């Protein structure tokens, strides 16, 4: 039995890798995309263009503006002279926000009156707007603390001391790169498994395969092996690069990581082969891949937290293998999670793998005629 399966697996590898075009497409893009996306995917904003409408011009106002410009997050792109220019700057997206300092700013400040600073933000990209606003809040709070200590009026009754665990500088790249690792592995596995049967159907070789003594389960295993091997190899390379090139900490155990990776590959291959067994043409297979791939990535907690989703969508994510693998990867990379603490991620992955592989096997047998 194993000899036949290995023969089939070797044939699958040759079919994937002998043609230079398809060999390149399977090997090249994941590595390129890791590089590109790891730089692209960050929620840390830098050089946010702001316009300053400084109607006061005094020392305190200058100090506040300097604090914005010196933070690294903001870059002053224009000085506004008139109220009417504000809307032009925002509408045309020359600046994401306008810092409007009133003419009585310093006077209010010195007379212990509330000195109000107006911030006008372009809300078209609400996520960027929210992040920019939170930066501005922090900067103003820091300004206040400094002002209070240098102009001793009264010590604030309470202060906040914040620490962020696992990622002290709140670098979002640490969070994103493990997610990209998971996405690229999923894409590679889908590409390798989901198109394989449809391709044989279109070339007419599937019948030839079925008259050999290969049992449907053996065909299934033979077609799963390349996905597993290629997924494992590319996954290892991508993880190595992530740690070495992007300096993402790796706190956990390699063994735990590989257990999680194995279970994830199993479930992804199961889904890929299910699509493969259902599709009769390549176009249908590609449609199937996207109908799975896009929701799986969106609903994985990669970019937007699952906790923010409404309850029924949260329930839906329970069948998404990416959800569990995201937690496993981030846990192992950043927290050094142990095998025990990830148990609740491992068993759902194993369950999804078993169910989808069994379904794929069933479909193989019943779609033969």
Partner 1 sequence: MSSPTPRRGSGWMRMGGLIRKESLQIIRDPSSIAIAFLLPVVLLLIFGYGVSLNAKHIPLAFVADAPDMESAALYASFNHSTYFSPQIAPNLATATRWLLNRRVDAIVHLPSDFAAQLSTANQSAPLQVIVNGIDANQARLTQAYIQAGWQSWLTNRTQAAGQSAHQPVELAARIWFNPELRSRDYLVPGLIAVIMTLIGALLTALVMAREWERGTLEALMVTPVQINELLIGKLVPYFVLGMGGMALSVAMAVWLFGVPFLGSWWILVLTSALFLLTALGMGLFISIVARNQFVASLIAIITTFLPAFMLSGFIFDIGSMPGWLQNLTYLVSARYFIVILHTLFLAGDVAAILWPNTLAMLAIAVFFIAASRRKIRKSLE
Partner 2 sequence: MSAHGVKNDTEAIVIRGLHKSFGKAPRITQAVNNVSFSVPTGTVMGLIGPDGAGKTTLMRLMAGLLTAEAGSLEVLGVDVQKDPLTVQSSIGYMPQHFGLYEDLTVQENLTLYADLQGVPFDQRPNRYQRLLAMTGLGAFTDRLAGRLSGGMKQKLGLACTLVRPPKLLLLDEPTVGVDPVSRRELWAIVYQLVQEDGMTVLLSTAYLDEAEHCDQVILLHEGEILGQDTPAAFTQHLAGRVWGAKRELGLRRHLQAELKQQPGILDAVIDGDWVRVLLAEQTAPPTLPNGVWQPLPPRFEDAFVLMLNSQRAAQTPQAPAPPTSQPIVPTARARPAEVITVHELTRRFGAFIAVNALSFSVQRGEIFGLLGANGAGKSTTFRMLCGLLPASSGALSVAGVDLFTAAAKARARIGYMSQKYALYEVLSVMQNLKFFARAYGLKGEHLNRRLAWALSEFELTPYHDTNSGLLPLGFKQRLAMACALMHEPDILFLDEPTSGVDPLERRAFWGRINELADHGVTIMITTHFMDEAEYCDRLVIMSQGQILAAGTPAAIRAQAQTAAAPNPSMEDAFIALITAPTPPTGVAA
Residues 322-361 touching partner 1, rule: CB under 8 A, are 330, 334-335, 341
Order the strands of the 74-79 sheet from edge to edge. 74-79, 48-54, 97-101
| Closest CB 368 distance from partner 1, rounded Å | 21
CA distance 4 to 213: 9
Name which of partner 1, partner 2, none residue 10 binds, using a CB cut-off of 5 to 8 Å depending on partner kind: partner 2
Output the furthest CA–CA distance in the chain (Å, rounded): 93
Among 1, 66, 141, 247, binds partner 1 (CB under 8 A): 141
> Quick check: 367 binds partner 2 (CB under 8 A)?
no
> Rounded to the nearest whole angstrom, what is the least distance from the CB of residue 220 to partner 2 in the complex?
13
Phi-psi region of 93 (alpha: psi -120 to 50; beta: other; left: phi over 0): left
Contact track, partner 2, 79-108, x by CB under 8 A? ------------------------------
Return the one option of partner 2, partner 1, none that residue 254 interacts with (CB less than 5 to 8 A, by type).
none
3-class SS of residue 73: coil
| 210 interacts with, out of partner 2, partner 1, none, CB within 5 to 8 A per kind | partner 2
Question: What is the distance between the alpha carbons of residues 220 and 225, in angstroms, rounded to a whole number?
Answer: 9
**Considering CB distances under 5 to 8 angstroms, the limit depending on partner class, which of partner 1, partner 2, none binds residue 6?**
partner 2
The answer to the question of residue 199 lying near partner 1 (CB under 8 A) is yes
Q: Minimum Å distance from CB 335 to partner 1? A: 7
Nearest distance, CB of residue 264 and partner 1, angstroms: 18
* 267: CB partners within 8 A, 6+ apart: 321, 349, 350, 352, 353, 356
CA dist 83 and 60 (Å) reads 21
What φ, ψ does residue 167 adopt, rounded to 5°? -155, 70
Tell me the backbone φ, ψ of residue 74, rounded to 5 degrees. -115, 150
Based on the shown chain and the rule CB under 8 A, indicate whether residue 31 belongs to the binding site for partner 1: no
3-state secondary structure of 195: coil
Say whether residue 13 binds partner 1 (CB under 8 A): no
Q: Using the rule CB under 8 A, is 287 a contact of partner 2?
A: no
Residue 100, Cα to own-chain centre: how many angstroms? 35
Contact status, residue 71 vs residue 135, Cβ threshold 8 Å:
yes
Q: Which span (6-14, 51-59, 145-153, 256-264) binds partner 1, by CB under 8 A? A: 145-153
Q: Which does 3 bind (CB under 5 to 8 A by kind): partner 2, partner 1, none?
A: partner 2
Interface positions with partner 2 (CB under 8 A)? 3-4, 6-8, 10-11, 14-15, 18-19, 203-205, 207-215, 218, 368-369
């Amino acid at each position: 039995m194993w000899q036949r399966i290995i023969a089939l697996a070797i044939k699958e590898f040759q079919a994937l890798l002998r043609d230079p075009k398809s060999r390149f497409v399977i090997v090249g893009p994941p590595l390129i995309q890791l590089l590109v996306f790891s730089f692209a995917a960050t929620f840390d904003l830098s050089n946010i263009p702001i316009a300053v409408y400084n109607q006061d011009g005094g020392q305190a106002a200058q100090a506040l503006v300097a604090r914005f410009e010196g933070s690294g997050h903001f870059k002053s792109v224009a000085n506004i002279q008139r109220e009417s220019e504000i809307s032009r700057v925002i509408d045309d997206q020359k600046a994401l926000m306008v810092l409007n300092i009133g003419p009585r700013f310093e006077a209010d400040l010195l007379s212990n009156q509330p000195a109000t600073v107006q911030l006008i933000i372009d809300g078209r990209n609400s996520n960027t707007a929210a992040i920019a606003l939170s930066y501005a809040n922090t900067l103003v709070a820091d300004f206040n603390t400094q002002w209070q200590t240098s102009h001793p009026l009264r010590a604030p009754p309470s202060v906040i001391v914040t620490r962020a665990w696992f990622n002290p500088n709140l670098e979002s790249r640490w969070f994103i790169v493990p997610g990209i690792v998971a996405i690229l592995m999923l894409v590679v596995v889908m590409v390798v498994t989901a198109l394989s049967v449809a391709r044989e159907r279109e070339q007419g070789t599937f019948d030839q395969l079925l008259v050999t003594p290969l049992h449907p389960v053996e065909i299934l295993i033979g077609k799963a092996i390349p996905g597993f091997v290629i997924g494992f190899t590319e996954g290892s390379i991508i993880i190595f690069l992530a740690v070495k090139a992007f300096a993402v900490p790796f706190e956990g155990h390699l063994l735990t990581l590989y257990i999680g990776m194995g279970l994830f590959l199993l479930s992804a291959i199961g889904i890929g082969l299910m699509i493969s067994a259902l599709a009769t043409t390549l176009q249908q297979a590609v449609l199937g891949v996207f109908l799975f791939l896009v929701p799986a990535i969106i609903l994985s907690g990669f970019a937007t937290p699952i906790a923010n989703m409404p309850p029924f969508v949260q329930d839906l994510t329970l069948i998404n293998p990416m959800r569990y693998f995201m937690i496993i990867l981030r846990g192992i990379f950043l927290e050094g999670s142990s095998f025990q603490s990830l148990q609740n991620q491992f068993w759902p992955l194993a369950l999804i793998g078993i169910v989808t592989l069994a379904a794929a096997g069933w479909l193989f047998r019943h779609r033969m005629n």
